Amino acid sequence: MFLEMQMSDHEPIDNARRNLLKGAVAVPASLAMAQAMPGIAASNTDPLRNVIVVNTLGGLFDREVPRPKIGSAPQVLENTLVEAITDRSIGYALEAGMTAVNVTLGYIDGPVDPFEHSVREVGRWQRILQLHPDKLLRVLTTQDIQRAKAEGKVGVILGFQNGVMVGNDASRVGIFADLGVRVFQLTYNKATPLGDGAIAPENRGLTQLGRDVIAQLNEVRVISDLSHSGQNLCLDAARASKRPITLTHTGCRALADIPRNKTDEELKLVAEKGGYVGIYFTAFLRVGGSATAEDVIVHIEHALQVCGEDHVGIGTDGLAAPVADPERLRKLQLEQLEQRRKSGIAAPGETAAGPNFVIDLNGPQQFRKLAELLRQRGHSWTRIEKILGKNFMRVAKDIWGA
């Protein structure tokens, strides 16, 4: 989870590849884009009107609602969660053309009981859904995502970004599945009883508990997510799972050598097992500077080359809301980074030197801009539709069963 917080000092993506993208950042009007894209009627002014767009890791928070500090009292965290999802912030997601989003809930870190906190947060999200029935729809199957598209709502996929809420009992996976959790990330950045996260120095693979959790996830048809895992854990999980696994939000380490990004070996194995790789819109895409739309395109294209066009998508790890006050956001980033460093969950590459999101894919036009950039690079509209949502839909249907 970045959700708008980040670098180091290796080589940036090579200039030759970057130069290929120059001139592709300017985005024409929606009508011109619609006319240029095969399969979209020229009279349709929105190129995403008939497209399912799934953000496989994102948020619906309102930037104007203050966020609590990591480690705040449970009641403060829970009340703020409900208050931070507003009609305005949901409106930006709808304006962006987002059909569904995998939102983060449950325990990540801090002095709360992981199991109890996670159960309570599922309840808070149920309250959020009840407060916005005309705009939000709970997702349990891909049919719900299709329904969200038909009804003009945002489908909400409940997802975890850590697995420690199972304690020592893998059967708790079934409890969370019954509560509606549909994506389960095994680890955050640190070492856990299930295996090691991306910044754990030992880089352990799956423990026996981790293997039991994978087996339970397979049985109850919940998506296994290895986005924040260490390399050995990701490889172990891909081999152990009887169903496809996912990397809902990541980048390519071949282009930016940062632990949060995935090696070609990991990307390839995930794809070979029928899985899914979502590329994020974060600072981790480039080392030594602020990431741009060019970096997103280059990482997507590298993933396409390694995984094939049926296994790549987008998981922005950010918001659809525009940034109205960059200076305020910069100060918030500094505060968040300090909190994350104190708690030991910050990963190499996180810095407040620049924005933690892709500045030219910021705001509710981000998916339309991405589609146009991909089109200008010569990608077919069929492939672009796969990247925007069809690839995740295929994997989710395989795992969820409907």
Contact 234, 194 (CB under 8 A): no
Residue 9 lies in a domain: no
Q: How far apart are CA 340 and CA 212, in angstroms?
A: 29
Domain count, the chain: 1
Residue 3 lies in a domain: no
Residue 299 lies in a domain: yes
Residue 91 lies in a domain: yes
For residue 3, CA distances in Å to 14, 137, 265, 333, 343 come to: 27, 21, 26, 11, 17
Q: How far apart are CA 93 and CA 66, in angstroms?
A: 19
> Residue 383: CB partners within 8 Å, gap ≥ 6?
304, 309, 374
Convert the pLDDT of each residue in 51-94 to its tens digit. Answer: 999 999 999 999 888 766 655 666 666 667 788 999 999 999 99
> Residue 338: CB partners within 8 Å, gap ≥ 6?
none
Cα angle: 204, vertex 207, 213; to 5 degrees: 125
Domain span at residue 212 reads 15-400
Residue 2 lies in a domain: no
Average predicted confidence (pLDDT) for the chain? 87
Convert the pLDDT of each residue in 89-147 to its tens digit. Answer: 999 999 999 999 999 999 998 888 999 999 999 999 999 999 999 999 999 999 999 99
Q: How far apart are CA 78 and CA 114, in angstroms?
A: 14
Question: For the residues of 237-277, what is the DSSP string, one character each?
Answer: HHHH-SS-EEEEEE-BTTTS--TTSBPHHHHHHHHHTT-EE
Residue 323's domain is classified under what CATH number?
3.20.20.140
Residue 26 lies in a domain: yes
* pLDDT one digit per residue (tens) for the chain, 402 residues: 555 543 222 233 344 344 444 433 333 334 344 434 433 333 358 999 999 999 999 999 998 887 666 556 666 666 677 889 999 999 999 999 999 999 999 999 888 899 999 999 999 999 999 999 999 999 999 999 999 999 999 999 999 999 999 999 999 999 999 999 999 999 999 999 999 999 999 999 999 999 999 999 999 999 999 999 999 999 999 999 999 999 999 999 999 999 999 999 999 999 999 999 999 999 999 997 789 999 999 999 999 999 999 999 999 999 999 887 767 777 777 777 677 777 777 777 777 666 778 989 989 999 999 999 999 999 999 999 999 999 999 999 999 999
Residue 10 lies in a domain: no
The residue with tokens 């339970």 is: 216
Please state, for a pLDDT cut of 90, what percent of the chain lies above it: 72
Residue 154 lies in a domain: yes
